[in-house]
Chains A and B, each alone.
Chain A
Amino acid sequence: MIKRNCSMKFKSIEKSAIKHSDGETVTSKKLAITMEHNDMILCHGGSNSHELNTEIIKTVEEKLLDIEERKLVRKRVVNVLIESLSNLTNHSCKTADALCQTAVTLTQAANYYVIQCTNRIKKNEIPVLEERLKKLAVLDNKNLGEVYRQVLIQNKPSTKGGAGLGLIDLTRKANGNVSYEFTEKNENCFFFTLSININRLKAQ
């Protein structure tokens, strides 16, 4: 089910994002990743690039291997993270003064992994995005699979460099356990937060 999250979670992301955003170039040695902090596996905020995403993915893979997570779950978490990071890179509303453009966290609970991504979005982009999210929310996994296949066959690239498949793919891999929130930053700009839950026990 797609539902709106409480704002507390969002605020915690925003804080960590600001904390790690120093405006300097981020290199692999300077990744703003906090490991082993409570249930937090990954927390990154700031600029976002393909190179940085590659480093983040590699680090998370190592962490999931360290904690001996099941391969099925490990691969699904990494798959969802890959798609989430691509979404952030492709769809974040970039502004010249933006110290904090994106934020991503990965936390673990007894039964779930939660990937939470935040990016800026223009106000006028919200209705189309929300409509897509609502349409996906009512589909079961079988129908999500069929929608994914149809979009794949049609093969139309989206206007922002993605494939138009990302959101469907994320929802499908999370068995529909996706929630979202729009939080106003100013008159024209909002924060969009997408939370994806991956069940550790029922993944199959």
Chain B
Amino acid sequence: MKTFDYPLTEGRPSISLNHKEGILTISGRSILPDSDIVYKPIMDLLDNYFDQNDKIVCNVQLEYFNSCSARSLMQLFQMLDKHALKKKHITTIWHYEEEDDDSYEFGLDLQTSLRHPVELTEIQNKKPD
């Protein structure tokens, strides 16, 4: 199966799937007018991924995301939920910046709404030298 890597561009998140380690990483910004264009292919790829793999850790660290992207992320996580019901081992780690209460609240929403485990991890602000 082909591993893919989307480049980080303005408003478009960086997304990569490491087959060997079983890690999906979504980072940067997701401010997309039509987020399905970005997230749908990943969902298709993940569906195939679980034909040959039993576990995945989904690392999400988004600085900003719009509501259209929030909807797509929820679709992706709900799809992972379906695989969790098929005894696949799935963990989502939602990284939020210190003081970013809005991102933290979204992480809580995921924790409350999803069947698979969602961990919330705070990213500490870098202290100036």
Contact = CB atoms under 8 A, between A and B. Distances in A.
A149 interface: yes
Nearest to A148: B109
A145 B64 contact: no
Contact of A161 (B10, B64, B68): B68
A26 interface: no
Interface of B: 10-11, 31, 33-34, 64, 66-68, 70-71, 74-75, 78, 97-103, 105, 109, 112-113, 125
A151 B125 CA distance: 32
Contact of B70 (A50, A71, A163, A204): A163
B71 A155 contact: yes
Contacts of A54: 10-11, 31
Interface string A13-52: 0000000000000000000000000000000000000100
A70 B103 CA distance: 16
Contacts of A57: 31
Contacts of A83: 66-67
A152 B102 contact: no
B67 A157 contact: no
Nearest to B32: A50
The number of chain A residues touching the other chain, given as a range, is 20 to 34
A89 interface: yes
A189 interface: no
Contacts of A82: 31, 64, 66
Contacts, number: 78
Nearest to A74: B99
Contacts of A164: 71
A147 B68 CA distance: 16
A161 B100 contact: no
A161 B34 contact: yes
Contact of A155 (B64, B74, B100, B125): B74
Given A75-B97, A86-B67, A169-B70, 19 more contacts: A53-B31, A54-B11, A57-B31, A70-B99, A71-B99, A72-B101, A78-B64, A82-B31, A86-B66, A149-B109, A152-B70, A152-B74, A155-B71, A157-B71, A161-B34, A162-B68, A163-B68, A165-B67, A173-B102
A10 to B, nearest CB: 25
A183 interface: no
A153 B113 contact: yes
Interface in A109-165: 145, 148-149, 152-153, 155, 157, 161-165
Contacts of A153: 74, 78, 113
Nearest to B102: A79
A128 B106 CA distance: 27
A75 B105 contact: no
